[in-house]
Amino acid sequence: MNVHLTGQSEKFVNDQLARGACRTPEEVIQRALEVLQAEEEWIEDHKDAIHAKIERAFGQFERGEFFTAEQSRADMEKHKAAWLSKTQR
């Protein structure tokens, strides 16, 4: 099988080789495929929980229980600050 990489993908492969993360382009592709497979397995293993959370979110939205974009950003910043404070200890 021959694969043509975009310029951006080729740059990524070359960067990995330059960093020493992998020794050959094939090794970079193999690692990328392993990560993709692990991600797909994780999604499959957690699909019921993912679907339940999505359904719960739809229900909350239908009931008007949601944040505005500004509220969401503020909430995310609050959680980020708490996380940073905890990890810097």
- Residue 2 is assigned to a structural domain of this protein: no
pLDDT in tens, the chain (89 residues): 899 999 999 999 999 999 999 999 999 999 999 999 999 999 999 999 999 999 999 999 999 998 889 999 999 999 999 999 998 87
d(CA 15, CA 28): 10
Helices (H), ranges, 1-89: 7-19, 25-45, 47-62, 69-87
pLDDT of residue 6: 97
Domain of residue 39 covers 7-87
- Residue 49 is assigned to a structural domain of this protein: yes
pLDDT of residue 15: 96
What's the whole-model pTM score? 0.62
pLDDT of residue 17: 97
pLDDT of residue 87: 87
Q: How many domains does the chain have?
A: 1
